[in-house]
A and B are shown apart, each in its own frame.
Chain A
Amino acid sequence: MLDRRLALHPRVALRPEPFGALAYHYDTRRLVFLKHPDVVRVVRALSDHATLADTLVACAIDEHRWPSFQSALTSLYESEMLCEQRRAPVDAG
């Protein structure tokens, strides 16, 4: 998972909430709660970076938290809230 090139699915909208965000997929009609602001930050930043690992580094997520991010993002990917990146990421440094 860490070396995947991921992005938020283009049909998914995020709505910021105090607990994190609501994510709604307009095609699958699936509603998911992103229950931590850091998860929201990572999800939003995915398309700016080549891999999930790069994104976690760029978002300054401590490495001991990576496994929980991996599992959260795997579940988001499996429910199609995330998809493969279609274009080369913009190099955000």
Chain B
Amino acid sequence: MSNAAHPSTLVEQLKGGLDAPICLTWELTYACNLACVHCLSSSGRRDSRELTTAEAKAVLDELHDLQVFYINIGGGEPMIRRDFFELVEYAIGRGIGVKFSTNGAFIDAAKARRLASMEYLDIQISLDGVDATTNDAVRGGGSHATAIRAMGHLSDAGFGPFKISVVVTRHNVDQLDEFKALADAYGAQLRVTRLRPSGRGADSWHDLHPTNTQQRQIYDWLLAHGDDVLTGDSFFHLNALGEESDAGSLPGLNMCGAGRVVCLIDPIGDVYACPFVIHDEFRAGSVRDDGGFGAVWTESELFAELRRPQSAGACASCGSYDACQGGCMAAKFFTGIPLDGPDPECVVGHGEQAMRAATADLPRPAMDHSAPARQPGPPERVPVAIGRR
């Protein structure tokens, strides 16, 4: 995003909320063929209360009337829904651009051609390691090969610049240059986003989130790559590093957009402040309520609260607050830090202390759609080549 005028006053206005979101995330289903350890929505099994095709189309009609320019579709794995193409085509037909995130498992040559023929459609293939070992440790066995195969199909079908979407972890942070080279090789665009302790990520975050030294590494890398790499503006907490070195801010809006300019619609129609806070405390309502999505957006008390000026709280005395804005609300919430406290990955180092002071009972994600763990069955026959190293 860019703006043609004074950013600070614009940001102040955006913090007060808009009549409709700039964009919103819509998780179409909790069903997923994978079980990534950092899944924001703890997806796996379909929820029987999932919005019907007719309900989903009614929401799209409303988003059209509200002039929401584009939606980010995710899941679960959105392509599992049988009406996936019907809904995407319906959205595009109503002038709503679609960006959707997928693990690529359902993109074969024919589907790739169908996707390539559609206008206003962007695809993000999730990949969390340039090699199978790094990726599959997080996203599950075989998921690297699946993603690469899908990228090949999209490339063969002439889809154009799809996106490769990477959640930056402790284990792939050294691969940023290689991810960029991989994207370049496909004529694709690289998108890197921040790991959140949300969903199943609540359990894996402590092992996966970048170290303090790596935060600096990410910041420097992002500064060097500027607008070439998409971030969903998710690394604004790192801007505090610019304060000390005077290196400046990362591109994008330096603010939390939750309930102000973005929100989440989950598969059963519940509206949350953002994709990273699927928890009752951040549930604003449902598209199934009277008044639909529009009423939730404009009348929810939660969103009204998020649009009021926020206290800097414990961070008020820190010189970096203007730069980092206290960081990510969801990251604080799921690590037990008060919402006016520091980000758990505060680059000045206040996060560690705040986490230690946090209560023993951390908030748990609202719902868990994880597939039941597989029972250990008879050992699979694996072809083994003896003697090879």
Contacts and interface: CB of A to CB of B under 8 A. Distances in A.
Interface residues of A, number: 21
B279 to A, nearest CB: 28
A30 B18 contact: no
B4 A75 contact: yes
Contacts, number: 54
Nearest to B69: A24
A74 B70 CA distance: 26
Interface in A37-75: 39, 72, 75
A1 interface: no
Contacts of A10: none
Contact of A17 (B2, B18, B97, B120): B18
B62 to A, nearest CB: 15
Given A13-B69, A24-B70, A76 B4 contact: yes
Interface in B82-120: 95, 97, 119-120
Contacts of A24: 69-70, 97
6 contacts: A17-B19, A31-B1, A31-B22, A32-B3, A32-B4, A75-B4
Interface string B12-40: 01000011101000000000000000000
A6 interface: no
A35 interface: yes
Given A13-B95, A26-B69, A33-B4, 16 more contacts: A13-B67, A17-B18, A19-B13, A22-B22, A29-B70, A29-B97, A29-B122, A31-B22, A31-B69, A32-B1, A34-B4, A35-B6, A35-B9, A39-B4, A72-B4, A76-B4
A26 to B, nearest CB: 6
B10 interface: yes
Contacts of A72: 4-5
B18 A35 contact: no
A4 interface: no
A36 B2 contact: no
A29 B232 CA distance: 13
A35 B6 CA distance: 8
Contacts of B1: 31-33
A31 B23 CA distance: 10
Nearest to A25: B69
Contacts of A35: 3-6, 9-10
A36 B13 CA distance: 12
